[in-house]
Amino acid sequence: MDAMVARQMLPALEELKDYVSIPNDAVNPEDIQENVQWAEKAFAKRGFQTSVLKNARLPLFLAEMSFPKASKTVMFYFHLDGQPVRADEWQQEDPFRMVLREKGADGAYEDINWNLLQSTINDEWRVFGRSSSDDKGPIIMLLQALDMLQSERQSPPFNIKVVLDPEEEKGSPGLKETLEKHKDRFQADYLIVMDGPMHASNIPTLTLGCRGSVGFTLATYGPITPQHSGHYGNYAPNPGFLLAKVIASMKDEQGRVLVDGFYNGIAFDEEALKVMAAVPDNKEEINARLVIAEEEKVGNNYQESLQYPSLNIRGMQSAVVGKGAATIVPDEAVALLDIRLVPETEAKRMVSLVDSHIQKQGYTVLNHAPTTEERLRYPQIVFMQSSGGTPAFRTDVNAPISVWLRKALANSYKKEPVVIRMMGGTVPVVSFVQALDVPAVLVPLVNVDNNQHSPDENLRLGNLRMGMKTCLSILTSPI
């Protein structure tokens, strides 16, 4: 397999260079149109039947191919749009004209001639360009793996569907409508999401889920307008102290949330504990990178800590700090918080647990800004308002899709992949997973230091090689 993948490197790089050359910020529908047309050609060339599914936003690309001996269907999800670029922040002239670079003695990447690829391909070289990693690189990896399979006159043991989301970087606003309108077109047994970076160890990675999130605002109140801290200090209550007390009551010294029922329903079986402990995270390295003396004690290790809901303060504000600061008792203090959700903790319930917690401390919780009458009546008002939230998803470690993919990777790499039970972040694809109600696993393929969403986005050639091998392993693994 390795020799075949090696021979495919140059065609893969040429095809990626070609795809990257089409700008893909979804604010420009004409650009997305061009990206879709490119995909139509690329997938049709490989024998796929392609469709462009319209919705009120930008069209969704769907490619389908059936194989006579296949009974199951696997759907692959990618996105073809990219983050906006500001060309002057990049070290290359045009972020859509992919360049080849090698790391110099000083650690900086320097341009090398593209034609060098004709004779050698060094895994440590990188190609730089928008979407080289996020998410066009992975699309090319799958296409090239299909080419290898076809050149061997083999076919995958399952039918394939490929979805290319045109607006992932904008939060996939049209996805839900397209799904509802064309539900039958998205029938599949398994969903594989190829997006995002691999584990920092760069060992082949499977991510079985991701946390959701819900945000809420808390506000407390002092005098109706800011007052002189000399004339009213010791008399007018300061909303900053009240907000600080409310928030401080929610966590203990070790970072564990004290809200009743916050961690209810979360339990790990032996297998889950084993999977989490096996992830090669290095606590010392993580803490040194974050420059923190000690981590919070919610889980026994980094992975475990991500399996619980988290309570986070996004920001706090009261009067002015820095330029413009004044000797006043402020009128208001506001904090924006969020809860990262797990499948056991539904957004609404979690927000209401926090609400009850605040009430139990003796405060008056209102879901609207207080009226003058309310301010006169209740000494300690907390305003609380939440947004709807995005749910979490997690596929069981022992679910058939998880076992199948673990086997596929273990067989071709001769070692177990890193299995992330659930990653900490939230990705727009959750709505897709939820709407389809299909077992899903994320198979990230690109290097962790790819500068995703930033200038100088890049793909390490070793990751292109590994990504094609991973795709080929999946395409040839009995299902």
Interface contacts to Zn ion, rule CB under 5 A: 134-135, 195
Around Cβ 10, how many Cβ atoms within 10 Å? 12
Report, in Å, the least distance between residue 44 CB and Zn ion: 24
The nearer residue to Zn ion, 134 or 167, going by C-beta atoms, is: 134
Report, in Å, the least distance between residue 434 CB and Zn ion: 18
CA distance 199 to 211: 17
Q: C-alpha angle with apex 397: 392 to 402, nearest 5 degrees?
A: 95
The nearer residue to Zn ion, 147 or 195, going by C-beta atoms, is: 195
Report, in Å, the least distance between residue 135 CB and Zn ion: 4
Q: What are phi and psi of 191, to 5 degrees?
A: -125, 130
The nearer residue to Zn ion, 134 or 147, going by C-beta atoms, is: 134
Q: Tell me which long-range contacts 53-56 makes (C-beta under 8 A, separation of at least 24).
A: 53/178, 53/181, 53/182, 53/185, 54/178, 55/174, 55/177, 55/178, 55/181, 56/174, 56/177
The nearer residue to Zn ion, 196 or 439, going by C-beta atoms, is: 196
Strand partners, 436: none
Report, in Å, the least distance between residue 80 CB and Zn ion: 10
Amino acid 36 reads V
Report, in Å, the least distance between residue 2 CB and Zn ion: 27
The nearer residue to Zn ion, 136 or 394, going by C-beta atoms, is: 136
Report, in Å, the least distance between residue 53 CB and Zn ion: 20
The nearer residue to Zn ion, 350 or 446, going by C-beta atoms, is: 446
The nearer residue to Zn ion, 412 or 470, going by C-beta atoms, is: 470
The nearer residue to Zn ion, 135 or 456, going by C-beta atoms, is: 135
Amino acid 389 reads G
Sign of CA dihedral 167, 173, 176, 179: negative
Report, in Å, the least distance between residue 82 CB and Zn ion: 8
- Listed in sequence order, the residues at least 6 apart from 382 whose beta carbon sits closer than 8 Å to its beta carbon are 218, 219, 220, 242, 246, 358, 363, 364, 365, 366
DSSP 3-state assignment of 335? strand
Report, in Å, the least distance between residue 38 CB and Zn ion: 18
The nearer residue to Zn ion, 134 or 456, going by C-beta atoms, is: 134
Report, in Å, the least distance between residue 126 CB and Zn ion: 18
CA distance 3 to 355: 60
The answer to whether the beta carbons of residues 203 and 453 sit under 8 Å apart is: no
Sign of CA dihedral 265, 267, 272, 276: positive
- Listed in sequence order, the residues at least 6 apart from 433 whose beta carbon sits closer than 8 Å to its beta carbon are 191, 193, 393, 440
Strand partners, 213: 340, 390
Strand partners, 329: 227
Residue with tokens 């109600």: 437
Report, in Å, the least distance between residue 334 CB and Zn ion: 32
Strand partners, 312: 338
- Listed in sequence order, the residues at least 6 apart from 447 whose beta carbon sits closer than 8 Å to its beta carbon are 133, 197, 198, 202, 458, 459, 460, 462, 463
Task: Indicate the DSSP class of residue 260.
Answer: T
Report, in Å, the least distance between residue 195 CB and Zn ion: 4
The nearer residue to Zn ion, 365 or 429, going by C-beta atoms, is: 429
The nearer residue to Zn ion, 164 or 461, going by C-beta atoms, is: 164
Residue with tokens 């969903």: 191
Report, in Å, the least distance between residue 444 CB and Zn ion: 9
Name which of 210, 213, 170 is nearest 337 in CA terms.
213
Cα–Cα distances in angstroms (integers) from residue 186 to residues 308, 433, 449, in the given order = 31, 11, 33
Tokens of 382: 């907390």
Residue with tokens 């990257």: 20
The answer to whether the beta carbons of residues 121 and 98 sit under 8 Å apart is: no
The nearer residue to Zn ion, 23 or 223, going by C-beta atoms, is: 23
Tokens of 328: 């006043």
